[in-house]
Amino acid sequence: MSATDLAPVAPLPDRGGPQQPLVIARDLRRHFPIRSGFFGRRTGTVHAVDGVSFEVVKGETLGIVGESGCGKSTTARLLVGLIALDAGDIIFDGDRLGDELSLRELRRGVQMVFQDSYASLNPRLTIEDSIAFGPRVHGMSEGQARRRARELLASVGLEPARFAGRYPHELSGGQRQRVNIARALAMAPRLVIFDEAVSALDKSVEAQVLNLLADLKEERDLTYVFISHDLNVVRYISDRVMVMYLGEVVEIGPAEAVYARKAHPYTAALFAAMPSMDPDARTEEPPLAGDPPNPIDPPTGCRFHTRCRFAEAVCTAVKPALASVPGEARGGEARAEAHVAACHMLVAGSGHSAVGAAA
């Protein structure tokens, strides 16, 4: 890398070694109170993220899928420190956020690309100024920051001489999203979170951006968390997939394992809801009825029991824990490569009549 990258905003060193997960999220919890009336009395609680634990291994791409209200975007914002945790720990490369790692340090290591390419750029700043803002805040000189901005523009495929001086409204959606990626990379992060970052793009442009993401990851040794509702995209880009429902993780596992065997009934329903690409085998029956319930005061027990066709009494009463999916070669719940799901049907002796028969 060139000398400019050793300036104030240099990539953070790898401290924990390859075995140490880049991020360990432990029991993350974030509730939003709903207040109403003159005195702002608390009238309800949105359980946006409720006890979410996962790991992001160095160099991998973790895909997060789920419907609206499942907490995937809140999880992303918790990881960047844009919203504060109510409870739980974020451990970045071995350092716990709070005592061993400041918020400012975390934000050096983790950056985010948002869905709305227009809203995520200041309309009054040129592209160059937007990208250079972060490095400037961290003490880089103006000349250096500009140079870095132009290098990054070039590496996301926008010719610096043509684009650096332009304003966001003069760019197409795809070009703006490239700028947002450059802006995130300007901080030389180790983890980049993409929150539905390609969802608003046209399909042909989306493919270009996905290729770009693959190149950048290789070049810069990055780790990705990729949030999307498009299961095709997630399958293409992810090494591992995490499925969320109403603020909880219902299934995590290697992408191919999850796609091959959807252990949780919700995962199965989500996949079945994808439009068919075969005109002779169109979907005949919707896999789920009704809308996803809203995360204000969610159901007891397994949160999916209200929509699950296998639901039994035990599902209403007892919350299932993440357990390894039987029959998968790699066991051990704690391992990052494990395929785990939170369903009573996977656990012998849980009291569900269909133990072992599921999926």
Q: What residues between 268 and 287 interact with another protein by CB under 8 A?
A: 269-270, 272-280, 282-287
Least Cβ distance, residue 351 to another protein (angstroms): 27
User: Residue with structure tokens 């000398």?
Assistant: 3
- CA 169 to chain centroid: 27
Does position 120 interact with another protein (CB under 8 A)? The reply is yes
Tokens of 68: 């609206």
- CA 137 to chain centroid: 26
Of 150 and 350, which CB lies nearer to another protein in the complex structure? Answer: 150
Does position 204 interact with another protein (CB under 8 A)? The reply is yes
Q: Which stretch binds another protein (CB under 8 A): 92-100, 158-166, 335-343, 345-353?
A: 158-166
Does position 116 interact with another protein (CB under 8 A)? The reply is yes
Q: How far apart are CA 288 and CA 310, in angstroms?
A: 12
Q: Which stretch binds another protein (CB under 8 A): 23-31, 173-181, 321-329, 335-343?
A: 173-181
Does position 112 interact with another protein (CB under 8 A)? The reply is yes
What binding mask, one character per residue, do residues 19-58 give for another protein by CB under 8 A, x or -? ---------------------x------------------
Of 76 and 315, which CB lies nearer to another protein in the complex structure? Answer: 76
Of 54 and 304, which CB lies nearer to another protein in the complex structure? Answer: 304
Of 290 and 349, which CB lies nearer to another protein in the complex structure? Answer: 290
Among 36, 141, 232, 300, binds another protein (CB under 8 A): 232
Among 205, 296, 311, 354, binds another protein (CB under 8 A): 205
Would you say 175 and 163 are in contact if contact means Cβ atoms under 8 Å apart? Answer: yes
Backbone φ and ψ for 199, nearest 5 degrees, come out as -65, -30
Positions 286 through 325 that interact with another protein (CB under 8 A): 286-292, 294
Least Cβ distance, residue 80 to another protein (angstroms): 5
Does position 174 interact with another protein (CB under 8 A)? The reply is yes
Burial label for 47, CB within 10 Å (0-12, 13-18, 19+), is: buried
Would you say 293 and 285 are in contact if contact means Cβ atoms under 8 Å apart? Answer: no
Positions 124 through 143 that interact with another protein (CB under 8 A): 124-125, 128, 130, 133-134, 137-138
Does position 328 interact with another protein (CB under 8 A)? The reply is no
Least Cβ distance, residue 292 to another protein (angstroms): 6
Amino acid at 198: V
Question: Edge-to-edge, what's the strand order for the sheet holding 191-195?
Answer: 110-113, 191-195, 223-227, 61-65, 240-245, 248-254, 340-341, 323-324
Among 5, 27, 100, 170, binds another protein (CB under 8 A): 170
Return the half-sphere exposure (C-beta side, CA atoms, 13 A cut-off) of residue 241: 29
CB atoms within 10 A of CB 77: 18
Q: What's the sign of the alpha-carbon dihedral 113, 114, 118, 124? A: negative
Distance set, CA 226 to CA 127, 210, 316 (Å)? 24, 11, 32
Of 130 and 350, which CB lies nearer to another protein in the complex structure? Answer: 130
Least Cβ distance, residue 342 to another protein (angstroms): 18
Q: Which stretch binds another protein (CB under 8 A): 18-26, 74-82, 88-96, 344-352?
A: 74-82
Residues near another protein (CB under 8 A), total:
96
Would you say 90 and 25 are in contact if contact means Cβ atoms under 8 Å apart? Answer: yes
Among 160, 247, 253, 295, binds another protein (CB under 8 A): 160
Does position 208 interact with another protein (CB under 8 A)? The reply is yes
Which DSSP state fits 49? E
Q: How far apart are CA 275 and CA 38, in angstroms?
A: 46
